Chains A and B, each alone.
Chain A
Amino acid sequence: MDGMLRNFSKLLSVRSPIQQFHRSLVILKRRHQVQLQKKNSKQKPILKGRHFIYDVVENPELKKKEKMEVILTQYVEGIGHEGEKVSVRPAYAYEHLILPKLAVYASPEMVESMKNDNTQKINKETPSSITALQTLNYLKKMVISVSMNKDNPWTIEPWHIRVSLRKMNVHVLNDDSIKLPDQPISGPDLTLEGKSFVVFITINKKEKVPVECNLHHWSTKFADRLPYTEFFRRDPVSILPEQTDLLMSIREKKNI
């Protein structure tokens, strides 16, 4: 009786075969081969229990998917220009390019028709590079902290902005692409502490971005340094009165 109960409890604890956390499409193989059938026989082969023991040969879904080629129907940030043939991961291509009709499949007919179309679409406005708009959006979201000396006199020049950007891992290659406001800002002037101004940065000599800069006074002496504040969270106060509206508009876009 005890043995029966023990066995019965074992049966109860056996996991239901349906609750398996297993993935799908697998290539299977019979462990025991089915016996040879008669030539051209119309009867179904007789399958015994042993013929249902399968071994997993291969699991294609666990492999990395090969990239797929698509032709873009319009400019896509970070991917390519209109009419360009690009190879991307199939899941990304299907969900983000083909379903929203940003791209079409690169079937042989499509490739030929696109070749013919390319001759007509030369004079279209396109961004300067694939990643230009991404860079633009990235810069728009930034609030640059421009740290200036608290003791020695200075006037803000393009290289100050370049260095401040470099601290935030943005490398501006040429100072000509940074355009300061017309009115010079000079100091040290503690009334300007924590206030903002806007500079314009040109990407690839084409796209122009307004970028918010926050002025901060910094001293080499540890005791003279001002305390750290979260300037990028505060509402911006403009140094130049003509830039207040621009500043507010930049912040509003950021919050969205």
Chain B
Amino acid sequence: MSVINLLDNSKMESKLANGLKLLYIPKTTKISSGLGDRLPEAYKKFYKEWRHKVPEPVYFQPKSGKWTRDEKTNAVIPVQNIPIPLKYPKTMHFGIWGGEAVIQGFKQSGKYKSRVPHFWTPTLKKSVVYSEVLDKYMSTTVTERAIDLINKNYGLDHYLLKTAACDLRTTLSLKIKRQILMALRDKTLYPDDNIKQQTVYNKYKDYLKDYTHEEIEWYGLTFNEALLKLQEMDSFKEKKEPLKTKYRIELIEELKNSSQTPTEEKTSWLNKLNPFN
């Protein structure tokens, strides 16, 4: 009996698992519904890297390991690093912020004091960044952390190419990354100096392994830009002429043919009526 019970149990479990699978409905996102669903996989990959991936912790120190002890009770509890929610203002897209953002929260000076709203915002400064691949100086708004990261990665190009889109976050840095990737892919860097071109290309060519040709084409575009690009591609691919032009041409030809052979039989409407004619 016990064996049969066990078997039954396992069957039940598998059925349940199947049922749960059926129950699972993936969450609708911008790229899985509406027009966004039509975007190519190359863009969807980038979009996931940009918007869905969890960025590296900036404002808190994640605890390492699997288990810790509770501070008060000394009980063993699992480590769960729940990230601090960040706010991304529109103006950040005009600069390189290096993963920084705005934090909305409260300050509380004592247990029995009222909590006071507080925004922790990054300090911005105007500075210049230099890209070796593009051979360009760019005046931008940056944060101290961004400059720090550029220094630690030995240059803007290395920093942008190494870092995932979710950590760069701002459209400006993604646009520069896109330009760099395109220049490396098409080898349009340093068009006048062949030796320099080769040395710089060799320096950064390893980063190209992570992307295909099409992925670079779609990298760093905002959602709206991607849709526009898709629209443009569609129009280019199809180039459908309206049917009326086709019919018009047909009609004109028909008329011409008919004018060449004007042999219309003179028939009265009575003839039509006669079924034996």
Q: Which residues of A are at the interface with B, using a C-beta cutoff of 8 A? A: 17-18, 20, 22-31, 34, 36-37, 39, 45, 47, 49, 52-54, 57, 61, 68, 90-91, 93-95, 98-99, 105, 107, 109-110
Contact = CB atoms under 8 A, between A and B. Distances in A.
A53 B106 contact: yes
Contact of B82 (A20, A34, A54, A99): A34
B144 A28 contact: no
Contacts of B80: 34, 36-37
Contacts of A18: 119
Grouping DSSP codes into helix (H, G, I), strand (E, B) and loop, the A interface class, with mixed when no group exceeds half, is: mixed
Nearest to B137: A99
B88 interface: no
A53 B115 contact: yes
**Complex A-B, nearest 8 residue pairs according to Cβ-Cβ distance, in ascending order:** A24-B122, A105-B154, A107-B154, A24-B123, A52-B105, A53-B106, A17-B117, A54-B105
B59 interface: yes
Contacts, number: 90
Residue in B104, B122, B148 with the greatest tally of chain A CB atoms within 10 Å:
B148
Given A18-B119, A23-B123, A25-B122, 9 more contacts: A24-B100, A24-B121, A24-B122, A25-B145, A28-B84, A45-B82, A54-B120, A90-B151, A105-B151
Contacts of A110: 154
Nearest to A19: B119
11 contacts: A23-B123, A25-B145, A27-B59, A28-B120, A34-B82, A37-B80, A53-B106, A54-B105, A90-B151, A95-B127, A105-B154
Interface string B180-212: 000000000000000000000001000000000
A28 B151 contact: no
A248 B136 CA distance: 42
A94 B151 contact: yes
Nearest to A52: B105
A53 B144 contact: no
A241 B64 CA distance: 81
Interface of B: 58-61, 77-78, 80, 82, 84-85, 100, 103-108, 115-123, 127-128, 130, 137, 143-145, 147-148, 150-151, 154-155, 203
A52 B203 CA distance: 45
Contacts of B59: 25-28
A11 B88 CA distance: 28
Nearest to A47: B85
B151 A17 contact: no
Given A29-B60, A45-B82, A99-B128, A54 B106 contact: yes
A166 to B, nearest CB: 43
Nearest to B128: A99
B104 A52 contact: yes
Given A31-B108, A53-B108, A107-B154, A17 B118 contact: yes
Nearest to B98: A25
Interface centre among B100, B127, B137, B151, by most A CB within 10 Å?
B151
A217 B154 CA distance: 60
Given A20-B119, A68-B151, A25 B78 contact: no
Contacts of A54: 84, 103, 105-107, 118, 120
A57 B100 CA distance: 17
Contact of A28 (B60, B119, B128, B147): B60
A110 B199 CA distance: 12
A26 B120 contact: yes
Contacts of A22: 120-121
B103 A28 contact: yes
Nearest to A45: B82
Contacts of A20: 118-119, 121
Contacts of A95: 127
Contacts of B60: 27-29
Given A25-B122, A28-B84, A94-B147, A36 B78 contact: yes
B101 to A, nearest CB: 10
A49 B104 CA distance: 11
Given A31-B108, A52-B106, A90-B151, A17 B119 contact: yes
Contacts of A90: 147-148, 151
B116 to A, nearest CB: 8
A91 B147 CA distance: 9
A90 B116 CA distance: 36
Nearest to B61: A27
Nearest to B77: A36
Contacts of B130: 98-99
A86 to B, nearest CB: 15
